[in-house]
């Protein structure tokens, strides 16, 4: 956008504004003949939201964009959710996933962290939901993010979870989840000991 030119909506923007206004109008169940004034107000309001004078759209969109600015790549992790804790030093939730053994995770368990649950509502909701659904098969959407730290240049951050039903192998005959042994001895750096003194039970309030 050229700030030196008078602002004008493009034909595409005008069409989108009208579609949005008509959608809102239809949701309010107003008759077209009786609602022209209301429709005018909706069009004007939607138009203002998309204008350079409004921060209502720019602010939220900027926050969404900044959320992913450090993402290097995306990956999926498939397995069973067996444990949820909180890392006291960072406020991140720690999810332990039972997976198929791999070269990087020979014991078949992986750790994935959320963003800090102390300031990130999305991370808090992910952790809260996960803590209530331990024992379920899951598909995780994980970002490999650049940290800017030479000692640890990237970190894996959980962004979304798809729950795929209970892993029936981990429940008793009464339908109660049987807690699984977490291999903290192999979940730390270089498959070494994880420092559990930094963990606290995540409370799914």
Q: What is the pLDDT of residues 145-200, one digit of tens each?
A: 988 888 888 889 999 999 999 999 999 999 999 999 999 988 888 778 888 998 98
Choose between 18 and 91: higher pLDDT.
91
Specify the pLDDT at position 31. 46
Q: Tell whether the model's pLDDT for residue 5 goes beyond 70.
A: no
Domain with CATH 2.40.50.140 in the chain: 71-201
Contact 82, 96 (CB under 8 A): yes
Q: Tell whether the model's pLDDT for residue 30 goes beyond 60.
A: no
Topology of the domain comprising 71-201: OB fold (Dihydrolipoamide Acetyltransferase, E2P) (2.40.50)
Residue 32 phi/psi, 5-degree rounding, is -55, -45
Contact 17, 43 (CB under 8 A): yes
Mean pLDDT value across the chain: 83
Give Cα 10 distance to the centre of its chain: 33
Give how far Cα 166 sits from Cα of 81, 100, 163, 171, 183, Å.
10, 17, 8, 8, 21
The pLDDT confidence band at residue 99, using thresholds 50, 70 and 90, is very high
pTM: 0.73
Choose between 92 and 67: higher pLDDT.
92
């Amino acid at each position: 956008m050229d700030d030196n030119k008078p602002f004008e909506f493009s034909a595409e923007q005008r069409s989108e504004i009208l579609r949005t206004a008509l959608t809102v109008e239809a949701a309010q169940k107003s008759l077209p003949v009786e609602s022209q004034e209301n429709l005018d107000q909706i069009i004007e309001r939607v138009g203002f939201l998309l204008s350079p004078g409004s921060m209502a759209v720019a602010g939220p969109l900027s926050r969404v964009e900044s959320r992913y600015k450090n993402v290097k790549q995306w990956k999926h992790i498939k397995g069973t959710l067996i444990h949820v804790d909180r890392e006291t030093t960072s406020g991140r939730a720690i999810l332990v996933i039972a997976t198929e053994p791999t070269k990087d995770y020979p014991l078949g368990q992986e750790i994935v962290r959320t963003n800090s649950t102390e300031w990130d509502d999305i991370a808090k909701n992910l952790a809260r939901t996960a803590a209530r659904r331990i024992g379920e098969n899951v598909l995780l959407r994980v970002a490999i993010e650049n940290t800017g730290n030479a000692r640890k240049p990237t970190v894996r951050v959980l962004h979304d979870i798809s729950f795929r039903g209970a892993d029936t192998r981990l429940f008793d005959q009464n339908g109660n989840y049987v807690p699984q042994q977490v291999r903290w001895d192999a979940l730390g750096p270089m498959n070494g000991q994880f420092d559990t003194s930094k963990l606290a039970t995540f409370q799914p309030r």
